[in-house]
Copies of this chain bind each other. A is one copy, B any other.
């Protein structure tokens, strides 16, 4: 390994001079500095991150922890975050939490507080208070943290407004019996506070029903065991066969992945979209554009989400922590109308 001392020796200066020169400190003359840069390049010198970090407490790395790397929405989000982090001059690293609490904790302990100057984190299992102690004061921005008593800055997707728009769209194109797929009716009662993404999207749906003076009951909600394409596909038949859902002509799936799985399940049963039934999703994943039929959806603007999240985080990093109360921003979204709701 070639160290700073090697560069210093080769350039005939001291280690300190090399350090200053490479970091662009103005006190070193340009001629000396450029000679040193040349020597460093010739020797393939690379500053040792561990040493620098040990000494300065900075690594220039920002971490992004997402749920599952192999699901479309989280991975598109991770990609957008990575691009924005790089654009802001930091090195992005991505990790998957797999939704297990142990993984979340391990990542926080080992990686965040060690390798990263800050972290963008989407907490699934770890509570806000625990996060605070795990973060050891390191800057952190949360995604879709809906806890009533936030500890960190956060950015949320527009769950309520988006869901309201989705269901509103179904109503507008003339659907008479609309079902929201992905959460049970009972949840409306239990989680009226809507401290989860599911709850928030449910709430937004309810708003749309209320606004159109549509009375809702269990027949307007259909739960599935997991938000996966598999579960959604299998569930479609169950819904079609249930008396309660007879005559459904419009479905809002709480995510695009669920929508695509559900659409596939409908195809398995010979139900045509949009002819027999209109379908809309939520997220705006890439596949929604290429599916047959293409899927209408509420598209979260991931560039906007990333800009907001990374912006908040870098503010914290560069100003030594949060200034004032935790902020909560919301990402832009738009309604994308495609074939699946074309009547």
> Complex formed: what's the CA distance from A229 to B72 in Å?
14
- The verdict on A109 contacting chain B, using a C-beta distance below 8 Å, is yes
> Complex formed: what's the CA distance from A290 to B111 in Å?
36
Interface size class, chain A: 35 or more
- The verdict on A32 contacting chain B, using a C-beta distance below 8 Å, is no
**Residue contact B96 to A46, C-beta cutoff 8 Å:** no
> Complex formed: what's the CA distance from A308 to B113 in Å?
31
Q: What is the total number of copies of this protein in its complex?
A: 2
Chain B residue nearest in CB terms to A103: B86
Contact of A78 among B60, B69, B107, B115 (CB under 8 A): B69
Which residues 87-114 of A have a CB within 8 angstroms of B?
A: 91-96, 98, 103, 106-107, 109-111, 113-114
Which residues 34-91 of A have a CB within 8 angstroms of B?
A: 44, 46, 48-51, 53-54, 59-61, 63, 68-70, 72, 75-76, 78-80, 82-83, 86, 91
- The verdict on A193 contacting chain B, using a C-beta distance below 8 Å, is no
- The verdict on A291 contacting chain B, using a C-beta distance below 8 Å, is yes
- With contacts A96-B79, A261-B290, A290-B229 taken as known, whether A115 is within 8 angstroms of B49 at the C-beta atoms is yes
Which residues 107-129 of A have a CB within 8 angstroms of B?
A: 107, 109-111, 113-115
Which residues 152-166 of A have a CB within 8 angstroms of B?
A: none
Most buried by B among A60, A98, A292: A292
**Residue contact A76 to B82, C-beta cutoff 8 Å:** no
**Residue contact B48 to A54, C-beta cutoff 8 Å:** yes
> Complex formed: what's the CA distance from A260 to B260 in Å?
14
**Residue contact A96 to B69, C-beta cutoff 8 Å:** no
**Residue contact A229 to B286, C-beta cutoff 8 Å:** yes
- With contacts A229-B290, A261-B290, A290-B260 taken as known, whether A114 is within 8 angstroms of B49 at the C-beta atoms is yes
> Complex formed: what's the CA distance from A72 to B59 in Å?
30
**Residue contact A286 to B114, C-beta cutoff 8 Å:** no
- The verdict on A264 contacting chain B, using a C-beta distance below 8 Å, is yes
- The verdict on A323 contacting chain B, using a C-beta distance below 8 Å, is no
Chain B residue nearest in CB terms to A113: B46
Contact of A292 among B48, B50, B263 (CB under 8 A): B263
- The verdict on A189 contacting chain B, using a C-beta distance below 8 Å, is no
- With contacts A69-B79, A70-B76 taken as known, whether A91 is within 8 angstroms of B111 at the C-beta atoms is yes
Which of chain B's residues have a CB closer than 8 A to the CB of A63? 93
Which of chain B's residues have a CB closer than 8 A to the CB of A61? 111, 115
Chain B residue nearest in CB terms to A96: B82
Contact of A267 among B49, B50, B292 (CB under 8 A): B292
Which residues 216-254 of A have a CB within 8 angstroms of B?
A: 229, 233
Which of chain B's residues have a CB closer than 8 A to the CB of A176? none
15 pairs across A/B with beta carbons < 8 Å?
A: A1-B136, A44-B136, A49-B50, A50-B50, A50-B53, A50-B54, A54-B54, A69-B75, A69-B76, A70-B78, A72-B72, A91-B111, A92-B95, A93-B95, A264-B294
Question: Closest 8 A-B residue pairs measured CB to CB?
Answer: A49-B114, A70-B79, A69-B79, A75-B75, A50-B53, A50-B54, A70-B76, A93-B93
